[in-house]
Chain A
Amino acid sequence: SAVISQKPSRDICQRGTSLTIQCQVDSQVTMMFWYRQQPGQSLTLIATANQGSEATYESGFVIDKFPISRPNLTFSTLTVSNMSPEDSSIYLCSVVRGQSSAYEQYFGPGTRLTVT
């Protein structure tokens, strides 16, 4: 398994401001992902955080709104920029461990964001 921590665990922010969420993994991993879970919904992939290159964003998510950093193989940040109430969600990072079809994805505890 993997030990993943996220900071902050929760925050309440004013609209128009930005929040940076940190994700720390207990050992080096190649692939890290950021997901969003809106209230009452399932998880949606925001982007794949690549070490040494720009993140790969899914349809509907853009770098200006959700800039991602991946400075090394154990750490990543997701910034939610110019927030609006629609950004209120749980944001989760995840990592993949294992090889081929036996790899398994593990999730951090999530960051609960409320935008007022």
Chain B
Amino acid sequence: KQEVTQIPAALSVPEGENLVLNCSFTDSAIYNLQWFRQDPGKGLTSLLLIQSSQREQTSGRLNASLDKSSGRSTLYIAASQPGDSATYLCAVTGSARQLTFGSGTQLTVLP
């Protein structure tokens, strides 16, 4: 059974810092990996999708990497802003296209 772990569970940084969120998964037979953002009481916003054949994806200040063989992904956020404060969720897609989620990293960016 796939298990997804995210470290750290919570992170607080001053504005302007670069930061890295970590995600690991136990079964490397994945179709892809997605990073989501969730604001309190809200739904999920897809940030980045990395296909199983890819090593990284970039969108603006966000960069996500994938090392499928070692079961790891990182989300890099450059020049963090208070508006980046949210919970970040990593999820991997299995053969039936269902997502298995990590428990999330709650990020607070202090002005």
The answer to whether A and B belong to the same complex is yes
Interface residues of A (CB under 8 A from B): 1, 31, 33, 35, 41-45, 48, 58, 90, 92, 94, 96, 100-110, 112
* A92 to B99 Cα, complex, angstroms: 13
Which residues of chain B are near A58, meaning CB under 8 Å? 98
**Majority secondary structure of chain A interface residues (helix, strand, loop or mixed):** strand
Residue of A nearest to B96 (CB): A48
Contacts known (A42-B103, A101-B31); A108 close to B43, Cβ less than 8 A: yes
- Across the interface, which residues of A come within 8 angstroms of B99, CB to CB? 33, 35, 43, 45, 94, 105
Interface size on B, residues (CB 8 A): 25
Instruction: Determine if B46 and A105 form an interchain contact, defined as CB atoms under 8 angstroms apart.
Output: yes
Given contacts A33-B98, A42-B89, A96-B97, contact A101 B43 (CB under 8 A): no
20 of the cross-chain contacts (CB-CB < 8 Å) are A1-B46, A31-B97, A35-B99, A43-B99, A45-B98, A45-B100, A92-B44, A96-B97, A101-B32, A101-B51, A101-B52, A102-B32, A103-B97, A104-B32, A104-B34, A104-B46, A106-B46, A108-B43, A109-B42, A112-B41
